[in-house]
Amino acid sequence: MNILYLHGLKSKLNDQKREVLEKYGHVYAPDIDYSIKHIQPELILDKLKDIEINVIIGSSMGALNSYIISDSIGRPSLLFNPPLAKYDGISSIKPHYTKINSYKQIVLGGIDDIVDPKETLAFLGNYIDKEEIDLHIDPRLGHRIPLDLFETQTEIFFSKLCY
C-alpha cells in the first residue's frame, strides 16, 4: 500500500509518526513549501505521477490538500484539523481520474486556536449528503496532534479500509 502524507505549514513528518504509518505501507511524504501557495494538489500529484497512491493522510494545510487530492483521485483520506472553511475554489480543482466519492476520516480539535473547528463543521455541513465522512472531535485537543492520538486515529482509519 502506498500512503501519501502531507505535512502542515512549517512542519514535517517526524520519525515517530513515520514509524506508525510504515506499519501500513510505503510512505511518501514530500516536502512542500506552502509559503508560495497554500493549495497545490496538482503540483503534489505531478511529483508522484508514477506512483499509485492508495490513501492520503494530512495535517492542517496538508489536510486541506489531502481533502482535495482525495476527491480528485477517489482515494480515502485521514485528515487532522483541515482548514477547509478558509479556502474557496476547492470544487474547481479538475479531477485527475474518474471522480468518485471516497471515505474521509476527519479529526478536529475542540480547542484548536489555529483552525476553528466550528468553521470546519459548517463547511462539512454542505457536503454531508455527498460524502462518507467519519468525524472525530476531541474537546481537549488543540492544533498539534500528539503521537498517541495520531496512532489511535491511524489504526481506526486503516481498520475501516478494505485493502
Q: In the prediction, which pLDDT does 96 show? A: 52
Burial class (CB in 10 A: 0-12, 13-18, 19+), 163: exposed
Q: In the prediction, which pLDDT does 90 show? A: 57
Cβ pair 53, 81 in contact under 8 A: no
Q: Over its length of 163 residues, how does the chain's per-residue pLDDT go in tens digits?
A: 999 999 998 899 999 999 999 999 999 999 998 888 888 889 999 999 999 999 999 999 999 999 999 988 889 999 999 999 877 655 545 555 555 568 999 999 999 999 999 999 998 887 766 678 899 999 999 999 999 999 999 999 999 986 5
Burial class (CB in 10 A: 0-12, 13-18, 19+), 98: exposed
Q: How many CA atoms lie within 13 A of 49 on its CB side?
A: 5
Q: Is 16 helix (H, G, I), strand (E, B) or coil?
A: helix
The single-letter DSSP state of residue 113 is S
pTM (two decimals): 0.91
Give the integer Cα–Cα distance in Å for 122 and 116.
10
Q: Which residue has 462539512 as its cell numbers?
A: 124
What phi and psi, each to the nearest 5 degrees, are found at residue 21? -70, -35
Burial class (CB in 10 A: 0-12, 13-18, 19+), 149: middle
Measure Cα distances from 56 to 38, 99, 101, 112, 119 in Å. 17, 16, 14, 22, 22
